[in-house]
Amino acid sequence: MTTENRARMRAALRGAVGKALLPAAELTHPGRFTPPPSERYDLEERFRAELTKLAGVVHDARSTDDVASIIMEVAAANATTSAFVGPSVSPAKATTSAFVGPGFSPANAPKILMWDERELPVPGLAEALRARGATILTQSPDKTRDNAHRAELATAVVGVTGADGGLAATGSIVLTSGPGRGRLASLLTPIHVAVLKRSRLFETLATYIGQHPEAVTAGANFVCITGPSRTADIEHVLARGVHGPKEIHVVMVD
């Protein structure tokens, strides 16, 4: 490549970066395409197996009360963390009964950061959780620069979201963020609980996008979450929860 050609190439790249556009790129969502040949296996069985390999947990629920009970059990299992323990309950004495039932007190109520209910596949979940003693937090777009609001959200230990799809081949869940679907519910809390309809199971990401090409541009973010957050940057020792939730639970509903 000559010096003149190199200079032209650099000028073209600088111009494209400045405009945040790629040459000849169209600002439209991907068109439909034919996914690769499908394998024959039970989607739910494969999804469970793959997510379990990644240290994720799959639960079954038939009603809103089932989902609420599962979330509270997950919270109670982590009751020894400081975020759950109030002045009247010490970490050594914290038990499931302290967080579920009539003896629940506001001092040790678990805080749960949730998507808006209209974005969840089960109705009345917030009310069912409050009846069990939980404190419900929601991310407000109007307060994203409010330090007090962010600090309050950071006290939540469980984040509850829906899921647009489950990918059986990898045990991944697909989430699209947007109004009522705050990203912090799946990023900020130590524990992420996603409620997924069984009808929203797909074989692969290609299968999902093939049937829902609009999904990649439907919200602010389109992400695939594959198991809990993990890293081995420090001395090649695997650690979970460094860059996101250390636990992921998927509640399957009909």
pLDDT, tens digit (0-9, with 9 covering 90-100), for 217-228: 888 889 999 988
Q: What band does 29 get if pLDDT is binned at 50, 70 and 90?
A: low
* Cβ–Cβ under 8 Å, residues 62 and 254: yes
Q: What band does 21 get if pLDDT is binned at 50, 70 and 90?
A: low
pLDDT score recorded for residue 109: 80
Residue of higher predicted confidence among 107 and 12: 12
* Tens of pLDDT, residues 165-217: 999 999 999 999 999 999 999 999 999 999 999 999 999 999 999 899 888 88
Evaluate if residue 244 carries a pLDDT over 50. Answer: yes
pLDDT score recorded for residue 5: 87
Cα separation, 52 vs 210, whole angstroms: 26
Say if strands 172-177 and 239-240 run parallel, antiparallel, or are unpaired.
unpaired
pLDDT score recorded for residue 9: 87
Mean pLDDT of all residues belonging to the chain = 82
47-56 mean pLDDT:
94
pLDDT score recorded for residue 230: 75
* Tens of pLDDT, residues 73-116: 999 887 644 333 333 333 333 333 334 443 345 557 899 999 99
Evaluate if residue 250 carries a pLDDT over 70. Answer: yes
123-151 mean pLDDT:
91
Computed on alpha carbons and rounded to an integer, the radius of gyration of the chain in Å comes to 22
The model carries a pTM of: 0.75
Evaluate if residue 119 carries a pLDDT over 90. Answer: yes
- The amino acid at 150: R
pLDDT score recorded for residue 24: 61
In percent, how much of the chain has pLDDT > 90?
54
Evaluate if residue 44 carries a pLDDT over 90. Answer: yes
Residue 68, token pair as written in the block: 């609420």
pLDDT score recorded for residue 67: 97
pLDDT score recorded for residue 232: 74
Q: Which domains does the chain carry? A: 48-253 (3.40.50.10420)
